[in-house]
Amino acid sequence: MKIFALFGLTSCVLLSKGIVPIDMGRTSLLDIGIYDVRCQAFNGKETQFPAGWTGDDPETGTVYTLGHRQDDKDALLLHSPWKLGAGKTWVDYRLKLPKATPITLEFSIAMRHGCVSPTGSDGVTFAAFAFEPRETPKQLHKEHVTSDAWKTLRFDLAKFAGKQCIVRLQVDPGPSRKPDFDFSYWGDPCIIAGDDITASPANQARELMKLPAIKATAKASLLPLNNTNRNGIVPGNILPCKNTLIQDKDGTWLFTYKAKDCKIAYRYQPKTGTLDDFTMTFNDEPPMRIAVGSGLELVKPATTKIVDCKQDGDSLKVTTRHEMEDDVLTATWKFGIQGKALTIKIDADKPLVKSLRLGTALAPIRKAFQTPYMGSGLMYLQANKLFTYRRLDWTKSDATKVGADAQYHAKTDGTRNPLHEEGYIAFSPNPGEVLPNIPFEPSKHRALLGPKIILDIWGPRGGNFANDGEALRELKDHGIDHAGVIYHIWQRYGYDVKLPDHIPANPKLGGEEAMKALGQAAKDCGYLFALHENYIDLYPDAPSFDKKAIALNQDGSWMKAWYNEHTKVQSFVIKAAEAIRFAWQNSPEINKRYYTTMAYIDAQTCGSPDWRVDYDASQPMAAIARLKVKTECELYDYMRKVHGGPFLGEGNMHYFWAGPCDGVEAQTGGEDQAPFLDFNLLKVHPQMTNHGMGYYSRWHTQGRLCWGFDAGTPKRRDKYRAQEIAYGHAGFVGNPVVYNPDWVASEHHIMHAIQTQYGTAKVTAIDYEVDGMMVPAAVALPLGLLSRQRIKYDSGAVIWINWNLEPWIVGKHAIAQWGVLCHAKNATVWTARQEGNTFTDYAECDEFVYADARTHFDMPYLINQKPLAEIKLKDCTYVGDGKIQISYAWEILDTPKRPVNCFVHFLNPKGRSLDKLTFQNDHEVPGEWNNWKQGDQFVTGPFTLDLPKNYDYHDITIGLFDATNRKLLRGSHFDNLRYHIGRIIVNRDKDRNIVGTSILQPDQVKIDSKQKLLDFSERVTPPGTMVDFGKVATNGAVKIQKSNDGQLVIFTYPRKADITIKLNLKAWNLNGSQTLVAKAPMTQNDLGPVNFTIKDGWLTFTTGSLNSGRFILKSK
């Protein structure tokens, strides 16, 4: 659909009747803003929701929400009702189609990943209809779906050309009428009228740039939009403005905004006693309803009257009376205007409110966006060229669940809390002016964390903490100076076992002395050091278990937390106010024993305050999410004081804690996310110092990783780092590569140089490149053209990041995909493509110069390209009583370098966890692994196994692994280096009892493995290639550190490689009279002088085979 379609008089008439005119081209149904959602229980009760409603209905369980994405498609989540009885849910889009052909309805259908299982959903019946108004709905398609793979369907709507047409999408639980976990997705539903074409993005961008509101702010600094807690969550405004509140002659109240960019007026006409009494006028355009479906939901039906409406200073105070059959509730509303936001405050005098809804804007086309680090809710109203967002303040709310709506749940005694809410609804041509501020003081540790990378260790290496201490010392000896360490697995009973009891350190992993040695090593290296603590999960087998500390569900039952699949023990949620008590029992002693200088707590910062709310009516602030705001802030402050440094946590929804929490691993939508930077850079970045883009396994699309097979390529490393830099994060090195000094050095040197420029800086501009133009998010976001970003900071740094497939030419640099360029007063950084398609890294700051020709890329995890064996199914026989006997035939192809183990996974799409496991048959490998020779043949088994009762077939996959990774085999690859060797078909009688099995061979089963062995040579320069970086030239990687006494300390990577280093005499102020000495690794003992030559303005030397730890160049 063309973005600049204008709605004329005829269109306005149609819109007034809820009919949306459709343009030529492609129109996404996800962008339609006027539609009807209904649900009907199978017992006949029908519920109709307000026009344009979106949300999760607490009464029926019906869901209509946007902003979802699965695989390569944007999706609508439509969930059938379940709370008042199972039934069907449908949405009607009333459209006026153009008089053109062809016209096609296109959509894909699938279940959400992971929801179909024996204990979850049994699938959903999808149905689609198309019909003229007042006609009987005509069914286009009906199908019961259990798969999470997209199925795309297309239907001809030519007979409706030039007519009004209702398109209906419908779901129900299917024949079983079981609605549990029925998360059903409609992927990329759209109408295609005529040719599927779109206008030139460049032309669209130019037209948007001409809009007066965009022109007025084009050169303005974004500093006014950087986060402030001065006005709670209410957004900032770029330009100076004037806000007024006046009453018109007709009794209408006007809340107005005036500035150079535009005029906005919120008009209030007291009628219904809801926010739907407001309309909004943008400049001289027709008014629009801004809060359809808003209002209070009480515990019983009520009639509403407005009993008072008067001005109270800069606010309008409105009192509403809600009369129920046997009670009366009085609500007091206060409305104001701040910048472009209508501010809202409401109190109720009795605890009789179930929910408050802020409603939604009613617009023909409204595009919903998923905002990284914030979530859903941001919308673009295409006809008005306005963004809108609304939410309630989680630090002020007395609700149980709080967002754009507030839900007041009953406590264990059946009572509710009185309503109190504060929030806003905002409209603006600029998305940054509707995004919420975070109502906390910023972290006081940003300067400390700003220049450091984080090493995330899940060790211990070799089974002993002390080994990790030596590994840290080795990293320090490689010139890695600015780091913090989070150490996860160390607890007395093991990871996530018998929590919240942590100490002493696990004796099986080295115990107390080894852990002290690790803490001392971190201290000696100057690294911040935190141990993983957990005060949210309470296990019943913990020595400190106290059932009084467990949070309660509404029915009084214990609230479940993490389930440990290894120990088979269920933990329970610790009450918010009790968490600090368990910290008192552990944290001071942890700090005293192990020399911690930083704190880390698992889980708590990754969720919103309304995650796991305690309903225990005997406790203060029961069923109020804000209790966690209070107690978590107290806990985080306590952890800072005990450990004497910053407090870090787990990331995801961490913006709720930005400020009280000093930093997290910044998990978001994964590697394929759409790069909309503004919320994170403007709101989160000024509050806290986050690192990385999430754990590697959560960032990678496929989840479970096989390093050296589908993870760990140079290109993937570039991609992860480019996203870190785009979002203003600190560097992060995850556990799979934390023991690789060359990898860590590269991350450290590049990220430290750039972090010194933006770690504590504020953003002044965020622009996106479109066909050579730099445009703001107000232009780039509606067009979806966000793949090239230029960010300016008040430090003077300018950073370019390219997510686009095509190189971006900036000055003399060709920034390839996932490349970056930073220019600043005291730093220059790039990952870019040089002449001859050579990729290089360069980082220069006050401390050092780092140059990497990428001729060496240390990948010890790289999978051997030669398969170790071919393993086939030898026999699988049903032996009765639900059991099989199975054996495997082996042909050896190569000898392993390390001890290997064998696993056998039986799989079904409805199986448990991400692996889809149904059962396993892991067993020892045949013979002696170190004596394997090509051509050897073995048989393992037979093994007698029980067949699970709930599955009709099991795919048999087998694989080998050693201490580093899974290994390459010959055969049919399934996924994650699991190889498909057959499928067991379970035969049953009419009562579903197992009566036998049959076997399908691999060539009889279609397996579509999306995982392929990646190219680990891409972006690696041919060995020996010299690259001239200006100040230095090398055929390896080198860090040249400037010391206070005028010496140059030179580190080379990898140490054992023979590398040539050339220093530009003029750039380094050298005259050839210097001496060069090699130093031994770790001890820094002299290894003797190193010869060098002076020629053509260069000082040149080679590292030879000295295995030097560093070289010292100093004047005689």
Question: Which pLDDT value is given to residue 1072?
Answer: 81
| Model confidence at 684: pLDDT above 80 | yes
Sheet order of strands, 599-601 included: 663-665, 647-650, 599-601, 528-533, 483-487, 453-457, 732-733
- Provide CB contacts within 8 A for 555, sequence distance 6+: 412
What average pLDDT does this structure show over 845-863? 89
Range in 263-272, 599-608, 771-780, 970-979 with the lowest mean pLDDT: 970-979
Q: Is residue 427 domain-shared with residue 455, that is, in the same domain?
A: no
Candidates 421, 405, 403, 400; CA nearest to 615 is 400
> Mean per-residue pLDDT for 224-237?
96
The pLDDT confidence band at residue 252, using thresholds 50, 70 and 90, is very high
**pLDDT mean over 1032-1051:** 93
Q: What is the pLDDT of residue 483?
A: 98
**Residue 9: predicted pLDDT:** 38
pLDDT tens per residue, range 468-503 = 999 999 999 999 999 999 999 999 999 999 999 999
Structure tokens at 900: 């290997």
Collapsing DSSP to helix, strand or coil, 985 comes out as strand
The DSSP element (H or E) to which 470 belongs, if any, is helix 465-477
pLDDT > 80? residue 198? no
Query: How does DSSP assign 54-123, residue by residue?
Result: -EE-TTT--EEEEEEEETTEEEEEEE---TTS-EEEEEEEEEE--S-S-EEEEEEEEEPTT-BSTTSB--
- Tally the domains of the chain: 5
Let me know whether 36 and 169 are in one domain.
yes
Using CB atoms within 10 Å of the CB of residue 106, give its burial: 0 to 12 exposed, 13 to 18 middle, 19+ buried: middle
**Where residue 186 sits, what CATH number does that domain have?**
2.60.120.260
Residue 783: phi, psi to the nearest 5? Answer: -85, -10
Task: Specify whether 654 is located in the same domain as 547.
Answer: yes
In the beta sheet, which residues pair with residue 1040? Answer: 849, 1050
Angstrom CA distances, 166 to 163, 206, 937, stand at 10, 35, 66
Residues 236 and 364 in one domain: yes
Angle, CA of 156, 157 and 163, to the nearest 5°: 170
Nearest partner of 227 among 17, 461, 432, judged by Cα: 432
Kindly state whether residue 117 falls inside one of the protein's structural domains. yes
Residue 541 sits in a domain whose CATH number is: 3.20.20.80
Average pLDDT over residues 791-814: 96
Contact in structure between 519 and 556 (CB atoms under 8 Å): no
Within-domain flag for 826 = no
Are the CB atoms for 197 and 203 separated by under 8 Å? no
Q: Answer yes or no: are the C-beta atoms of 222 and 763 closer than 8 Å.
A: yes
Confidence at residue 1009, expressed as pLDDT on a 0 to 100 scale: 67
Q: How confident is the model at residue 703 (pLDDT cuts 50, 70, 90)?
A: low
Same domain, 377 and 492: no
Whether residue 1074 is contained in a domain is answered as yes
**Among candidate residues 490, 492, 481, 479, the one with its CA nearest the CA of residue 457:** 490
Residues 240, 291: one domain?
A: yes
Q: How high is the pLDDT of residue 659?
A: 97
Q: Is the pLDDT of residue 38 over 90?
A: yes
pLDDT of residue 15: 53
- Which of the two residues, 6 and 232, has the higher pLDDT score? 232
Percent of the chain with pLDDT over 90: 79
Surface-to-core class of residue 768, CB atoms within 10 Å of its CB (0-12 exposed, 13-18 middle, 19+ buried): buried
Q: Which residues, other chains included, contact 35 with Cβ-Cβ below 8 Å and sequence gap of 6+?
A: 51, 52, 91, 92, 93, 94
Q: Which of 105, 126, 106, 107 is nearest to 183 (CA)?
A: 126
CATH assignment at residue 1106: 2.60.40
Instruction: Read off φ and ψ for residue 735, nearest 5 degrees.
Output: -55, -40
| Domain interval for residue 1036 | 1027-1115
CATH label of the domain that carries residue 342? 2.70.98
Q: Which pLDDT value is given to residue 118?
A: 72
Place 203 in a pLDDT band, splitting at 50, 70 and 90: confident
User: Using CA atoms, how far apart are residues 549 and 551, in angstroms rounded to an integer?
Assistant: 7
d(CA 1098, CA 1065): 5
Tokens of 263: 């005029």
Element spanning 749, H or E? helix 741-758
Cα angle for residues 569, 572, 576 (degrees, 5° grid): 155
Q: Residue 592: which H helix or E strand, with range?
A: helix 579-594
Q: Which helix (H) or strand (E) holds 779?
A: helix 777-783
One-letter amino acid of 984: I
Is residue 7 scored above 90 in pLDDT?
Answer: no
Residue 938 has pLDDT above 80, yes or no: yes
Measuring CA to CA, which residue among 7, 626, 651, 505 is closest to residue 286?
A: 7
Question: Of 188, 27, 169, 3, which Cα lies nearest the Cα of 98?
Answer: 27
Domain limit, last residue, from 728, 760, 792: 760
**pLDDT value at residue 965:** 77
Q: Which of 170, 20, 32, 155 is nearest to 97 (CA)?
A: 20
Q: What is the pLDDT of residue 949?
A: 84
330 and 264 in a common domain? yes
SS3 annotation, 678-709: HHHHHHHCCCCCCECCCCHHHHCCCCCCCECC
CA–CA separation, 913 vs 700, rounded Å?
Answer: 17
Residue ending a domain, choose from 1004, 1035, 1064: 1004
Tokens for 302, please give them: 């009520």
pLDDT for the residue 13: 47
Helix (H) or strand (E) holding 788: strand 788-793
User: At how many degrees (to 10) do helices 511-525 and 579-594 cross?
Assistant: 80
| pLDDT of amino acid 43 | 80
Is the same domain home to 1051 and 958? no
Measure CA 382 to chain center.
Answer: 27
CA dihedral (658, 662, 665, 671) positive or negative? positive
- Does a structural domain hold residue 479? yes
592 and 539 in one domain? yes
Phi–psi pair at 729, nearest 5 degrees: -95, 165
Highest mean pLDDT (candidates 54-68, 134-148, 585-599): 585-599
Q: Sort strands 937-946 and 917-920 into parallel, antiparallel or unpaired.
A: unpaired
Say which range, 50-64, 124-138, 713-727, has the weakest mean pLDDT: 50-64
Burial 330-362 (b: 16+ CB within 10 A, else e): ebebbbbbbbbbbbbbbebebbbbbbbbbbbbb
Q: Residue 121 corresponds to which amino acid?
A: S
What digits encode the pLDDT tens for the residues 708-723?
A: 888 889 999 999 999 9
Residues 1034 and 1000 in one domain: no
304-308, 367-371, 395-399, range with the lowest pLDDT: 367-371
CA distance 738 to 529: 15
1106-1116 per-position pLDDT tens digit = 778 999 999 87
Question: What is the rounded average pLDDT of the residues 152-172?
Answer: 96
**In the predicted structure, residue 1082 carries a pLDDT above the cut 90:** yes
69 shares its domain with 109: yes
- Tell which wins on pLDDT, 1009 or 481: 481
The three-class DSSP label of residue 723 is: helix
Domain co-membership, 328 together with 180: no
What does the chain come to in residues? Answer: 1116
Select the highest-mean-pLDDT range: 117-126, 580-589, 864-873: 580-589
Question: Please, what is the average pLDDT of the chain?
Answer: 93
Q: Which of 181, 199, 217 is the last residue of a domain?
A: 199
Per-residue pLDDT at 2 exceeds 50: no
CA–CA distance, 936 with 896 (Å, rounded to integer): 13
Residue 25 in any domain: the answer is yes
